[in-house]
Structure 1
Amino acid sequence: MAVVLPSPPATASPGLDGVITKPDTTTRAPRVKPTKEDLLKTHAVHVQKQANSPENAPRPVKQPNLALAYPASTKSIREVDIIPLSQLEVNSHHRGSGLILKVISPPFLGAGAVSIVEDEFGNVDKISIYNQNDSSILSGVPEGCIIGVKEPYYTINGKNADGSEDYMICVDHPSDVTLIRFTDPIIPEPLRLGPLLKTAEDWKKAGDTAFLEKDFPTAVFCYTEALDCAEDEGFKPSIYTKRAGTSLILGRYDSAKEDALASRTGTTTDWKAYYTAGRACYGLCNYSESKEYLSKALELNPTNPAIKKEYERCLARLHEEETGDYDFEAIYKSLSPKNVHLDLGSFTRNTEVKASPLHGRGLFATKDLAPGDLVFAEKATLMPNQYEPMRASAALYALTVRQLLDNPSLCKSVLQLYPGEMTYERNPLEGTLVDGVPVLDVFVIEGLRNKNCFSVPLSTLEDTRPTAQEGRQAKGLWVHASNLNHACVPNTLRSFLGDMLISRATRHIKAGEEIFQQYVPVKSLPDVRNGVYKDGWGFECSCTLCVAELKQSSEASREKRKDLLAQVEKILNKKTPRAKTIIPDATIRSVDKLMKQLEEAHEPEIYGRLPRLTLIYGSNWLVGAYRGKKNYSKTIRYAVKVLRNFGFEMPQGAESQDKVWDPRQMFFSEEWHSLMTIHVVVALRRLAEAYNGLGKKEMAERSVEAAEFGYMLVTGFKNDLSNLDR
């Protein structure tokens, strides 16, 4: 249901003096501006093209360019000096000033909602409003509505067909624009028309009509108008109930909860209010509060099956939060490309956020943890179901902005994350309500998305399969996990099931010890991997391995290892042998010789209990080469070397086929710094195959059990190793 107002007659009047910040050297007033008729005519062409385009086509997202960042306004529309459109200067942020405008065209919906607007003096211009949620009328302001723009940014929007410059008011920050109520006294007299409808009952009926037409933003708008003009207090509870239910559908849980509680009348029918409030809190993952309201709903209506169902769901989430008891296999089976947002609670009791001696905040263990223990399991705060890499980042950015707009209670946890270095000082008013919406700086949000998001497969288990489709990664934000600092050789390993992040301990962690993760898979060479950390997050890693390689190992040794690794990679062309590939003996001898030299280039006093990353690729290759020749003794020798090179403690003589030892114990060393990856699981499987080939069944079984334990660490839960063969 579109809200359309008739246009008042245009009035000619000189512009009013307004306060505008001094423009920089690139600012200038537009030399030639199109007439109102030309603007509307051109705009109508775009709107018509839009009408002829396929329905339900996804709208593009305008991601902010951090190099052009500017802060959001923190002022109310009532705190700025209102200026006419004629005083706008190009490429200027008009600090301390604002606009009151009437929309005089239907919106054209692209990356932003583009409309033609008019001020009280008859001046016209074009405006593009970005980053509004579909749950808001501001995502496509209907013709006739009045909007306020705070501290507007006026810019050149490219060239018109005739070569002239196209000008536009650009509203990047969603909190920089506000929808003004028709009866608000701030509206200038020439734009004032009064309300469209006369009575609260009329507005309620309009809201009901919009609701039946599934135009939920308009329904909320109409119910709001009904509440504003209602004189009978007894009329309001039913409107609050309707608006609460509509907001619940839109995912505006903060508003739904507030309206539901406002609808209470002190009678038994209040069960509806508590039921809606409970569901809203559930939508925000506030399960304790949800239980409180649902309990009250049950007290008033104990036989209602819908309340009972929601209450049981809530208890299940609270159990997960308390115990970390999950049926991961069932969760995995429930996953599908259409079902990635899992109905689960987050288990974080084993960890706490504290100041870190390394970087800002960190995550610390609250109890002793053993290898394989669940450190935490967290449901994503924000994760769109978008697994196309070219779109995933933009989708997460857009979702973050819009969810914070819809549910301001999320601002506290999300906006405290680190966004990287900004070109201006962040305002402490970010996230606070001004003109009814939280102040949101989209450049800050893009920064924190960039610094804190995770790349996510549909499931880590699927991602380990040989047939896994490459590049299918979503982007998500897990606020609790974002507090983890990086180490190249961390003490935890993360995995994913849909929007659930699972963190398991890879070695013993003592209560009070800081917990680390890998931000990205580590590169073999310390200068290369630290270049990645510097460019991506602005730090140099100070983990045990990096300190040893960059501070203790000599530059000559580092250069020698780098040169030898390059020779190995050149020979092998960065390929691992397939199972039935037969490699020429001469090639194997050349690689074997280089690998011995490379191993000798690692100083024993430095690498005694550390991973030797430059050796991993070549030793993995040799495992494949000897496996193809069914040389079981050599396969064992190099599979053990792979494990040692990942930093796992190997007993003396483990490289010999006759040594009896227990591979299961390699995960439980308290002194070695090991690096757990899927390659460790594969090396253990190759070890088992070779032992089987030699008839050493007990050693083969131990190797399989070790591989299963490692696979559980990688995928997050116990799985059949045959998954790796499909």
Structure 2
Amino acid sequence: MAVTASPATEGAPRELVGALPPRRLTKEELLKTHKAYLKKQDLTPDAPRPVKQPVMAEAYPASTKSIRDVEIIPLTELRVETHHRGKGIIVKVASPPFVGAGAVSVVEDEFGNADKLAIYNQGDTSILSGVPEGCVVAVKEPYYRFNGSDTDYMICVDHPSDVILLRFTDPIIPEPLRLGPLLKTATDWKKAGDTAFLEKDFPTAIFCYSEALEESNDKAFKAPVYTKRAGTNLLLGRYDAAMSDSLASRIGGPSDWKAYYNAGRAAYGLCEYRRSREYLEKALELNEAGTGVRKEYERCLARLREEETGDYDFAGMHKQLSTQNVHMDHGSFLRRTAVKESGLPGGGRGLFATEDIPAGELILVEKATLMPNQYDPSRASPALFALMVRQLCDNPSLARTILPLYAGDYARTGAEGTLVDGVPVVDIYLVENIRTKNCFSLPPSTLDDTKLARQETRLAKGLWAHASYMNHSCVPNSMRSFVGDMLISRATRDIRAGDEITHQYVPVKAIADVRAKLYRDGWGFDCTCPLCAGERDLPETNNAKRRAEALAAVEKVCNKRPSSNGAIVPDSAIRTVDRLARQLEDAHEVDVYAALPRLMLIYPSNWLVSAHRGRKNWTKVLRYGTRVLRNFGFVSVPLDEDAEKEDWDPMAIYTSSGKATLMTVHVVAALRRLAQAYGALGREGMAERCTAAAGLGYKMVTGWENDMTGVDKD
């Protein structure tokens, strides 16, 4: 097959692209420079390891070929900025690795040619994350990259499945690179694995146990080695392998309880609780007195109950949260929803209700498929990308969950996730596309993040595969919240069986054009929700320009004279904002916005509520508080004099306001302020109704019933 040249790297001379390097450094020259880097290497064990995130402009597919099906070439045939399709190299590592975002080593081929090899995106459970000197590796369809000067190049391995660690006795290794087996017997390999395990070098322990198993045909010898490898894989979170090893360790006797116990623990680690229960029940049959087995079994039953009932102690979960404990030990309640083809234009697949779900009730609760405990905004995205890649390598069964997710227009080969040369094909560019199109940003707890006066927000990134199928709407019928790595979704209005469930991908922007660009650039779709469709169909008048000018004017005044924190705002400022708000309201077409939110009016309406609240003008608080609700799309709310005189049912806003409402914590705050105003005016019944409606709204926002103290603090 022909090689494929990549677009020139920035700074790479064009004449080098696709050509052989004019000069290659010798092994001695490479080792001299490499040793200088090793002396500077930071080996601080607790320092976060950098992650090389994919640059989509440089995307290329992972190899789907076996190393035995490609042409092995010498290093001297590598061409600059070229992906050598149908080719492969086999090299021996001739230096310790320099470990940074990847592991860089000096390597040599069977002819004595040397070069640099950079291996990226290997998890810390893999020897290849810092491949030891003397090991032999194969690189499939290598990418040879210009590295900054006319003598500086390196073999760059981005896809983790493109590099294979070869057994020392693999017949594919050329004779000059053969070392022969380092240890002579299976027992020696087992002892080496035990030593590595005691030294907590778990990847090496796995390697040694694997060699011991390959060297022996004695079932009695192999059974305990499988058990040891299963236990080590459990420690590394390699649950697929742990389950396979556990079952392979069975000998058909009473001692098999441990095999089923470890298999049950592995299934639990994959959140496959029904399968875990089956294995643990077999373990209990063989070892009824096992307290550890019984405890694990009861824990599994608790997860199954959560999956069936949706009964959670969210307040208790919130109390357990800490910087060290954001991963909750709970199951996912998903039975009220199903994935089907969406009815939205261009919506692909969506999530649909399988039964009626009244406003405020749980739609689903989902434990994160993958979520790193990393709330530093600069590191959250790289951490999730690295975790996704690692888990797809370590637990190939996750490919069934992760890889079908939407990845934009990225071209797939169809082989992603399949095993080739014993490892799953992992395309990092596909993974990154899936991450950017499906991940959620989340605080440690939505409850702690909903106080209007909060000063700081820390956000992690996570993937919830089932919830990822929900399509976007600017006026959705659901609202998500988080406690640790648990996503909670509640209905914000009544949902009927068969209805598609929607949520907001990001907080909605008030200006339609800004919203449209955000969705198109970020996800590649045009929103067709009632709000966007209505605003898209507006007549070509000057109203859009009038709205933009009026909004800029009112924001300028409101920002200059804040009405929060109990400030007493002068009458002149209130009159100015009121006048500008009326101008902004007049710029909204009545026939179009009669049943739609008026997002531009929310800020000035909230400002006026706070201004009149600070002056204890409770009648005006009622007038503008109901307008806040109206501007969020709750069209069933009485306005102005009606709100001041008549009794009405605030709880009905969730059921009688149509399908274009927008629920946020600011709705809760508006209801709380209305309750305060009604109470101050002696209308206790209405105050209680508003408080009850605020409580239900806060339940939607935070995920469960909570004390609302602080929500209405400005």
TM class by shorter-chain length?
over 0.9
Match for 2:616: what amino acid?
K
Number of the residue aligned with 1:202: 188
Structure 2 residue 356 is the aligned partner of structure 1 residue 375 = no
Match of 2:646 among 659, 670, 674: 659
1:486-501 pair list within 5 angstroms: 486-501=472-487
Whole-angstrom CA distance in 2 between matches of 1:576 and 1:57: 43
Number of the residue aligned with 1:123: 113
Number of the residue aligned with 1:96: 86
1:240-319 pair list within 5 angstroms: 240-319=226-305
Whole-angstrom CA distance in 2 between matches of 1:441 and 1:480: 22
Structure 2 residue 19 is the aligned partner of structure 1 residue 28 = yes
Number of the residue aligned with 2:49: 59
Number of the residue aligned with 2:683: 696
Identical positions, percent:
62
Whole-angstrom CA distance in 1 between matches of 2:46 and 2:380: 19
What secondary structure sits across from 1:573 in the alignment? helix
Number of the residue aligned with 1:417: 405
Match of 1:44 among 27, 35, 43: 35
Whole-angstrom CA distance in 2 between matches of 1:555 and 1:85: 67
Whole-angstrom CA distance in 1 between matches of 2:657 and 2:643: 24
C-alpha displacement at 1:579, in angstroms?
A: 3.3
C-alpha displacement at 1:20, in angstroms?
A: 4.7
The answer (yes or no) to whether the contact 2:87–2:142 under 8 Å persists in 1 is yes
Structure 2 residue 101 is the aligned partner of structure 1 residue 111 = yes
The answer (yes or no) to whether the contact 1:507–1:668 under 8 Å persists in 2 is yes
What secondary structure sits across from 1:722 in the alignment? coil
The answer (yes or no) to whether the contact 2:531–2:597 under 8 Å persists in 1 is yes
Q: Deviations over 1:511-567 (max 9, x none)?
A: 111110011111111111111101111111101111111114544333322221122
TM-score, length of structure 1 as denominator length: 0.94
Whole-angstrom CA distance in 1 between matches of 2:561 and 2:537: 32
Whole-angstrom CA distance in 2 between matches of 1:388 and 1:97: 41
The answer (yes or no) to whether the contact 2:561–2:569 under 8 Å persists in 1 is no
C-alpha displacement at 1:336, in angstroms?
A: 1.1
Number of the residue aligned with 1:650: 637
The answer (yes or no) to whether the contact 2:474–2:531 under 8 Å persists in 1 is yes
The answer (yes or no) to whether the contact 1:549–1:558 under 8 Å persists in 2 is no
> After the TM superposition, which of the residue ranges 31-40 and 384-393 deviates more from structure 2?
31-40
Number of the residue aligned with 2:465: 479
Match of 2:611 among 609, 622, 625: 625
Residues 494, 528 of structure 1: CA spacing in aligned structure 2 closer, same or farther, 3 A cutoff? Answer: same
Structure 2 residue 173 is the aligned partner of structure 1 residue 182 = no
Match for 1:382: what amino acid?
L
1:119-518 pair list within 5 angstroms: 119-159=109-149, 165-358=151-344, 359-422=347-410, 425-466=411-452, 468-518=454-504
Whole-angstrom CA distance in 1 between matches of 2:94 and 2:229: 28
Number of the residue aligned with 1:14: none
The answer (yes or no) to whether the contact 1:260–1:277 under 8 Å persists in 2 is yes
Residues 564, 495 of structure 1: CA spacing in aligned structure 2 closer, same or farther, 3 A cutoff? Answer: same
What secondary structure sits across from 1:295 in the alignment? helix
Structure 2 residue 73 is the aligned partner of structure 1 residue 87 = no
Residues 258, 638 of structure 1: CA spacing in aligned structure 2 closer, same or farther, 3 A cutoff? Answer: same
> After the TM superposition, which of the residue ranges 293-302 and 54-63 deviates more from structure 2?
54-63
Q: Deviations over 1:4-28 (max 9, x none)?
A: xxxxxxxxxxxxxxx6525467222
Number of the residue aligned with 1:6: none
TM-score, length of structure 2 as denominator length: 0.96
> After the TM superposition, which of the residue ranges 669-678 and 441-450 deviates more from structure 2?
669-678
The answer (yes or no) to whether the contact 2:626–2:638 under 8 Å persists in 1 is no
Match for 1:661: what amino acid?
W
Residues 535, 269 of structure 1: CA spacing in aligned structure 2 closer, same or farther, 3 A cutoff? Answer: same
Q: 5+ unaligned residues in a row in structure 2: which ranges?
A: 7-14
1:679-718 pair list within 5 angstroms: 679-718=666-705
> After the TM superposition, which of the residue ranges 462-471 and 138-147 deviates more from structure 2?
462-471
Residues 576, 519 of structure 1: CA spacing in aligned structure 2 closer, same or farther, 3 A cutoff? Answer: farther
- Give the CA RMSD over aligned residues: 1.5
Q: Deviations over 1:145-197 (max 9, x none)?
A: 110000000011224xxxx5411000000000000011110000111121100
The answer (yes or no) to whether the contact 2:449–2:457 under 8 Å persists in 1 is no
Q: 5+ unaligned residues in a row in structure 1: which ranges?
A: 1-18
Residues 481, 83 of structure 1: CA spacing in aligned structure 2 closer, same or farther, 3 A cutoff? Answer: same
Q: Deviations over 1:468-504 (max 9, x none)?
A: 3524100000100110101100000000111111000
The answer (yes or no) to whether the contact 2:672–2:712 under 8 Å persists in 1 is no
1:562-581 pair list within 5 angstroms: 562-573=548-559, 576-581=562-567
The answer (yes or no) to whether the contact 1:460–1:715 under 8 Å persists in 2 is yes
Whole-angstrom CA distance in 2 between matches of 1:408 and 1:121: 36
C-alpha displacement at 1:87, in angstroms?
A: 0.5
C-alpha displacement at 1:660, in angstroms?
A: 1.7
Match of 2:656 among 650, 669, 685: 669
What secondary structure sits across from 2:397 in the alignment? helix
Whole-angstrom CA distance in 2 between matches of 1:330 and 1:723: 21
Residues 338, 555 of structure 1: CA spacing in aligned structure 2 closer, same or farther, 3 A cutoff? Answer: farther
> After the TM superposition, which of the residue ranges 317-326 and 664-673 deviates more from structure 2?
664-673
C-alpha displacement at 1:672, in angstroms?
A: 5.0
The answer (yes or no) to whether the contact 1:281–1:290 under 8 Å persists in 2 is yes
Whole-angstrom CA distance in 1 between matches of 2:683 and 2:546: 39
C-alpha displacement at 1:723, in angstroms?
A: 4.2
